[in-house]
Structure 1
């Protein structure tokens, strides 16, 4: 049996604002942009991993009002799960994202458990980490 991650969702307040971070600052490519029922989701991926994508969507997109409200509350609190990107040069990636104006949570550092990493908040408050790629 073969198994691989295909995509993961990131909840954002405003897909256009999020694109400024995920596409422009991180360098991901837009793969799909769909409007449906008054909401929108955008699928992005890395040119280095064609089969792996993230989906940016608003809290109420495809959810009940109550579920969307709950998700919005968690997003506002900044307590949704973080996402970690693997990069070959943490310091260069950090400088590129910092130059975009993103909120810095942690400058690049070597962690006691192994990787060199850094952290930011996206425009919606999600924690986004970048860690040194592991050797193949």
Structure 2
């Protein structure tokens, strides 16, 4: 059986400023990745111009991408851009697309999932990420820990060397999602 050559996926940053070093505020106010999506989707319908359609953005994703549902996208962005050093490709009050260190990450505000059958579970005040740890290799842990502390975020585990071959720290975002960030130890 002959296999088709896999078509290279377009990068979201081609449609926008890639690696915008002005931070998340520079990305605010541009369209939204879910506009133009078919109505079978069950998420809240947007009324603004699209950044790109949900289908177009979805085609840029490959492998593992993480979508976190957060209470407030604007409140969460400084953690992801300032502490973790991800670039905001796009953000508004409903959605943010971020990338960096080999990671593609999306944030969706709670209200964008109000039509999902499990939406009422988002109403609780508890932490959301407990039980899952998102690991990102390639972020300098001492610097990330310092930035987190300076910005008032929770450092769950201070930077240290681990038997599994990483030097990392464990940080918590405003909604309780847990990130272990670090670099490999020399062999």
The root-mean-square deviation of aligned C-alpha atoms, in Å, is 2.8
Structure 1 consecutive aligned stretches of length 4 or more whose deviation exceeds 6 Å: none
Give the drift of 1:119: 0.7
1:76 corresponds to: 126
The change in CA–CA distance for 1:58 and 1:134 in structure 2 (over 3 A counts) is farther
1:96 aligns with 2:147: yes
Give deviations 1:28-64, integer Å, cap 9, x for gaps. 21112356xxxx1111112x54xx4200112342353
RCO higher in 1 or 2 (8 Å CA, sep ≥ 6)?
Answer: 1
Q: Which has the higher strand share?
A: 1
Q: 1:72 to 1:131 in 2, by over 3 A?
A: farther
* Alignment TM-score, normalising by the size of structure 1: 0.74
> Where in structure 2 are there 5+ consecutive unaligned residues?
7-61
Gaps of 5+ in 1: none
Deviation at 1:97, TM superposition (A): 2.3
Q: What per-residue deviation string (whole Å, max 9, x for no partner) do you get for residues 2-39 of structure 1?
A: 7x52521122111010012111222221112356xxxx
Aligned-pair CA distance for 1:70: 2.0
TM-score between the two structures when normalised by the length of structure 2? 0.56
